[in-house]
Amino acid sequence: MFLIHESIQPGISRGWYSNYLFKLETMSSEISTILVLIAGGHSSGKECGATLLKEQLLSRFKHDVLNIQTINMQDYMSESAGCGSRAPLQFNFDQIKNDLTQQMNDGISDVIILYGLYALYDKEIVEMATIRTYIDCDADVRLGRWIKRDILQDEKDGENEQKKLELLLNVYLNYSRHEMKTYIQDTRERADVILPRGADPVGFTLVLDGIQPLLIKKLERKTVSFSDTESSLSVTPNIQQPQRSFSTSSMNRETVISHLKELSQEPSVKSLSNDNFANSNKIYYELN
């Protein structure tokens, strides 16, 4: 089931999902670029989630020209960082903020998806965001996914696999667990949406439902602006409003919530040996 953090004013009672939509709908209509943050622990599925959200956006807005940019925070990591060392000081947050500010101001990107361990760490980046998402996942499940990604998917070499496993477990025990507990875990409190089952497609559908009306407004303003520009140049405009297969008045949130109630409980260590790794729907288990 989804968790969502609420900031409800005294005297106002509102369901968690209604409050989430209310927050987004009351944002400034002049928003230029939608910034989505996706944070979470090691191998929780952050990159998979960013890819999934991008694919869902392109699918739902298939009649529009949508510019979506994904940014991996590891691209801003210091080259001097040692093995397993990904503490906050290893990231150039100032450069991230400068790049985000520039890209959001130029208006070229409709949506920017920033993902990484520390996507919710810097308060200024958090304040810039339209929606903040945290992918939560049991530590044992994340370790199992990490092993699957970095070791089991490579070519079979018994001796090499053993060395890789020893190195991975050393990194996990001596660096990653401490990093998660000290720096990353508490950023969960800054999230608007917490996904407790990894990069869940149904979960990202809720995120998409929230930002959809903002995107529609942005795309409509873009169309009007382009039409006005052509008119000012004495060119006969031939702009038609895109044919969309959805509307803001029917986001079908009841159906989405119904699907959420049908989801099984969060994967356990036991399930790593069967359903989680054998499931044909790989989108759940591709890792970051």
**Residue predicted with more confidence, 262 or 198:** 198
What pLDDT is attached to residue 24? 56
What pLDDT is attached to residue 27? 52
Q: Which domain holds residue 229?
A: 3-138+186-236+249-262
In a domain, 166, yes or no: no
Mean pLDDT, the chain, as a whole number? Answer: 71
Tally of domains within the chain: 1
| Residue 186 scores a pLDDT above 90 | yes
In a domain, 143, yes or no: no
In a domain, 37, yes or no: yes
In a domain, 228, yes or no: yes
Answer yes or no: are the C-beta atoms of 46 and 135 closer than 8 Å: yes
Whether pTM exceeds 0.85: no
Mean local confidence (pLDDT), 161-181: 77
> In this structure, what CATH number is given to the domain that contains residue 134?
3.40.50
In a domain, 180, yes or no: no
In a domain, 274, yes or no: no
What pLDDT is attached to residue 135? 92
In a domain, 36, yes or no: yes
In a domain, 56, yes or no: yes
